[in-house]
Amino acid sequence: MLEELTIKNIALIKYADIFFKEGLNILSGETGAGKSMVLGALGFVLGGRGSRELVRNGEEKAYAEAVFSGISKQVIETAKDLGIECDDDCIIIKRTITSEGKTKNRVNGSPVTVSMIRQLAENLIDIHTQNEHQSLLDSSKHIDILDSFCMPEIEEYIEELSKLNLQYRTVLKKLKSISGSVEEKERRTDLLKYKINEIGESNLKLGEEDELLERRKMLNNSEKLLNYSNTCLQLLVYGSDESQAAADKTGEALRLASLIASVDKSASSVCGELENAYAQIKDAAQILKDYSESLSGDPNEINEVEERLDLIYRLKRKYGSTIEEILAQKDSAEEELEFIENSDKLRTEYTQQKDELMKKIKNICSKMNTIRNDKARIIEKQIEKQLYDLEMKNAKFCINVTRKDTFSNKGADDVEFYISANAGEEMKPLSKTASGGEMSRIMLGLKTVTAGNDNIGTFVFDEIDSGVSGKTAQKVAEKMAYISKSQQIICITHLPQIASMADRHFYIEKKSENGHTISNVYLLEKNEQIRELGRLIGGRQTEAVMKAALEMKDLSDKRKKEIRQ
């Protein structure tokens, strides 16, 4: 339900913080006092068009904020799909507009688009005015209204159909993937085989490119490396005319240390270290000899390395940026080739699956159609009874359920409401036949029947009582009292019969302050409600009028309790 509506600097409203409750919330006031401004602010915060004219004269910006509590599972799921966090079953929508016409939108503190707000609002609130009945005029919503009466019988079929539909779409996608002419398949097969052979014949190995780059670097510098290694060998073991080799010098040092150790055993450790050094020099020399011989190997090896690298680069340009990606392309091509070669068998299997799924889907759709038609006949009579009570005694109401060639998760039915408002008139779609006043009563009759089954928690009625009076007005008031037992109603009215049924009554007043006109919203206490009823009854609040107002309020409270039992 709508728990709180805060308005600042919108039109004549400088500031208003309106706390609504469950049940019937009434707004009344003199003509032009600003009742429509409250509705305009609510429409704006729910995603309506915002223009700079909304901003109060002399102010830089305006905003409206709506707090909804106890929201439905459907709203929570919609919020989740939109990426909006929704804690404690609460939605807070805030829209700000500047005097330049720029807007900012937030839901639960997160920035959102107007489109996202509208998606949420669809299942939060239903607004009905003389010229707008959003859920009734939108025939696409009629199936949801009907299905709310078909629960729980139809619920299991909807869930099962959703699963089957997903399986059906998956099979269709698979069939599409193997469709195509023989020529197309042959062309694709040739391409795949060429790719598989080209990559396969290359015998690529993971890490091979890095090894080749290192080998090429070495081969390109082989002359320099050979010179360095020979010089090292000369220093270590060969020596030169000018200098004795390191191995010879170490050997001579070892001989002298042995002589020292033969006299002084404390020097024996030196001998051990020199023996190790001599052995290490010999080992290093052997390694250098082997390395030097490798540098003077096959002179054509550098060409072989370059050719191998060129092959890898060509394959990378065609199939991927790394050897790993190239090999993955080969695996993928082999899988696709196998799929194509088995396509005839797969087509038969998928076609059989599709036919079996369609048979199950049609069976479920048929059962859903039966449930809807049976429930529609019952609801039609109930709505006609409500319309009769609302002085549309000759009205005929029809819920037209027709089968479609296609289906969705809701089945294969089109549902649309038809009506004949007067005797002798043919049945026509609801949105094309009823006048504003008739539409209001039709809507009220429908809401009376659907009370408790509607997922939307709040209904707003803006002077839908226009054009009714007397007995009809009393019936309208009683219908509203009944609906507000299970759904919150916010109603702008001029009729005392409706106002007297209020659970919470707000008075909107326009006045001048310091040369500026402002509209204020006041919550009325019991005695203030009586005075406002007196104004609605007779204008002048005479003793007789006030007595009638008090009597009307007492009788309405009593009648309301009876209705809601």
Domains: count for the chain: 1
**At 463, is the pLDDT very low, low, confident or very high (cuts 50, 70, 90)?**
low
**At 133, is the pLDDT very low, low, confident or very high (cuts 50, 70, 90)?**
low
User: Rounded to the nearest 5°, which phi and psi values hold at 492?
Assistant: -95, 125
Q: What is the pLDDT of residue 400?
A: 95
Q: Strand pairing of 24-29 and 488-492? A: parallel
Please say if the pLDDT value at position 339 is more than 90. no
- Taking residues 522-531, report their average pLDDT: 94
**Per residue in 242-267, pLDDT tens?**
778 888 888 888 888 888 888 888 88
- Angle at the Cα of 121 from the Cα atoms of 120 and 127, rounded to 5 degrees: 165
- Read off the tokens for 420: 């004949």
- Taking residues 307-314, report their average pLDDT: 93
CA distance 137 to 348: 46
Proportion of the chain above pLDDT 70, given as a percent: 94
Amino acid of residue 430: L
Q: What is the pLDDT of residue 28?
A: 92
Burial degree of 34 (CB within 10 A; 0-12, 13-18, 19+): buried
Residue 443 lies in a domain: no
Listed range (5-9, 266-270, 337-341, 467-471) with the worst mean pLDDT? 467-471
How far is residue 435 from each of residues 182, 389, 464, 490, measured CA to CA in Å?
Answer: 61, 18, 12, 22
> Looking at residue 264, what DSSP letter applies?
-
Q: What is the pLDDT of residue 181?
A: 66
Paired strand residues for 94: 65, 106
Paired strand residues for 418: 398, 429
**Per residue in 185-243, pLDDT tens?**
788 889 999 999 999 999 999 999 999 998 888 888 877 888 888 888 888 888 777 77
- Taking residues 94-119, report their average pLDDT: 92
Paired strand residues for 408: 411
Q: What is the pLDDT of residue 71?
A: 87
Please say if the pLDDT value at position 479 is more than 80. yes
Residue 465 lies in a domain: no
Listed range (219-223, 517-521, 533-537) with the worst mean pLDDT? 219-223
pTM: 0.62
**At 53, is the pLDDT very low, low, confident or very high (cuts 50, 70, 90)?**
confident
What are the DSSP calls for 67-111, one per residue?
EEES--HHHHHHHHHTT----TTEEEEEEEEETTS-EEEEETTEE
Residue 31 lies in a domain: no
**At 51, is the pLDDT very low, low, confident or very high (cuts 50, 70, 90)?**
confident
How far is residue 365 from each of residues 272, 399, 402, 547, measured CA to CA in Å?
Answer: 97, 18, 11, 60
226 compared with 5, residue with greater pLDDT = 5
Please say if the pLDDT value at position 547 is more than 80. yes
Residue 519 lies in a domain: no
Q: What is the pLDDT of residue 328?
A: 94
Proportion of the chain above pLDDT 90, given as a percent: 46
Sheet with 61-69, edge to edge strand ranges: 13-19, 2-10, 61-69, 90-98, 103-107, 110-111
- Taking residues 122-145, report their average pLDDT: 76
Q: What is the pLDDT of residue 408?
A: 92
**At 436, is the pLDDT very low, low, confident or very high (cuts 50, 70, 90)?**
low
Paired strand residues for 523: 506
- Taking residues 284-311, report their average pLDDT: 83
Residue 333 lies in a domain: yes
| Contact by Cβ (8 Å): 444, 390 | yes
- Taking residues 359-388, report their average pLDDT: 94
- Read off the tokens for 161: 């159909």
CA distance 6 to 68: 12
Containing domain of residue 328, as a range? 188-340
Residue 134 lies in a domain: no
Residue 197 lies in a domain: yes
- Read off the tokens for 555: 């009788």
- Taking residues 277-294, report their average pLDDT: 86
- Taking residues 454-476, report their average pLDDT: 78
Q: What is the pLDDT of residue 107?
A: 93
Please say if the pLDDT value at position 301 is more than 60. yes
- Taking residues 373-382, report their average pLDDT: 94
Mean model confidence pLDDT for the chain: 88
**Per residue in 79-90, pLDDT tens?**
888 888 887 788
